[in-house]
Amino acid sequence: MGNTCNRLCAGLLLIASFAATAQVSSDPIVNWAYPWLSPSDAIKSQINPAGIRHVPDSNIVYSQGQTVDYFLAPDWHPDEHPKMPPIVKVGRKPSVFACGFCHRADGSGGPENASINGLSADYIVEQVKAFQSGKRKAAVAPDKGPGSLMRGVVESINDDEINSAAAYFAAIKPRRNIDVVEAEFIPSIAVNVRVFSHRNNQQKEPLGNRIIELANDDEQFENRDTRTQFTAYVPIGSIQRGQRLAQGLTGAKTRQCATCHGPELKGTDAAPRIAGRSPSYLARQLVDIKYGSRTGTEVSPMLAVVEQLTSEDILALTAYVSSLSP
């Protein structure tokens, strides 16, 4: 009887897992927050793969190979941040990539991953530990995208490296690098590896019910320049709707985000800054919480709120939060 019960319980859990996977895979957010899953619109880099790279207002030169080396954080503006610890600057071969490669030399990140500058050191450490323990996973295609790279790194990183990286990024003040614009039409886009890029023509396409983030200068972004600026195109009216959600003005559906994330949503020691961060990144985190891929005591207060949010709610909420000054 016991074995029968165990097999039945295991079967029910498997069915529930398949159902949740099917549900999240059909979520409309997948169409815009996960560019690397777009099946047919991908392009290769428009930059000449040979030669050297430059960025505006920097005399530093890197080769193309250096800008795609996971064990090097291109540092175009070294006077704008403290000295990088080795784990941030070059990582540790063979498996611990340089933190500054993905998150950029100053932690400013991009639409494909997290901006981590200005977050508390304790929070950064906590999140790395959550990746290590499996409490933080991706609900959508966990074996693809930047999250899969992060999970590979945390398997080998040690506590001293985690603490030094956390202290470094926590000491850097975040700056505004995203302009959130309500629009009906946007520049024609294609997928470039893990992000959306301009299609290099003068055509427009309807935005629809999506948020599309684009680097203002695709080449500058590919060079991993920390000064890259982005435009996030959001549906008309979404910012105001998101503000009402964030301020708890929609009845019992949401609470005031500031209750946990602090005044102006700039974070506390326990909760991260969400103001001014990438809306694509924020949407992916809400999806992970909603579908049970991010767990733990620090996440549980969010679950009661997020599980009530529709895909349109998440779009509006992230549009508004990202429009704020970090």
CA distances 207 to 32, 186, 212, 304, 317, Å, are 10, 6, 8, 30, 17
As a whole number of angstroms, the distance between CA 41 and CA 74 comes to 28
- Kindly state the tokens that stand for 53: 């790279």
The CATH fold of domain 52-170: Cytochrome Bc1 Complex; Chain D, domain 2 (1.10.760)
- Write the CB contacts of 321 (distance below 8 Å, at least 6 apart in sequence): 242, 246, 257, 265, 274, 275, 277, 279, 282
**pLDDT over 80 at 127, yes or no:** yes
- Give residue 296's Cα distance to chain centre: 19
Torsional sign, CA 291, 39, 315, 115: positive
Beta pairing, strands 189-192 & 185-187: unpaired
Could you state, in order of their start, the residue ranges of all structural domains in the chain? 11-43+175-322, 52-170
Q: Give residue-wise pLDDT tens across range 181-200.
A: 999 999 999 998 899 999 88
Query: Tell me, what's the pLDDT at 253?
Result: 67
Q: Give residue-wise pLDDT tens across range 129-148.
A: 999 999 999 999 899 889 89
Q: Give residue-wise pLDDT tens across range 84-125.
A: 999 999 999 999 999 999 999 999 999 999 999 999 999 999
| CATH class of this structure's domain 11-43+175-322 | mainly alpha
Q: Give me the DSSP letters along 33-83.
A: H-GGG-SS-B----S-SSSEE--TT----EEHHHHT-TT----S-GGGSPP
**pLDDT over 50 at 20, yes or no:** no
Query: Tell me, what's the pLDDT at 10?
Result: 41
Q: Give residue-wise pLDDT tens across range 236-273.
A: 999 999 999 999 887 666 778 999 999 999 998 889 99
Torsional sign, CA 280, 282, 283, 284: positive
The SS3 assignment for 197 reads strand
Q: What is the pTM of this model?
A: 0.89
Domains 11-43+175-322 and 52-170 fall in the same CATH topology:
yes
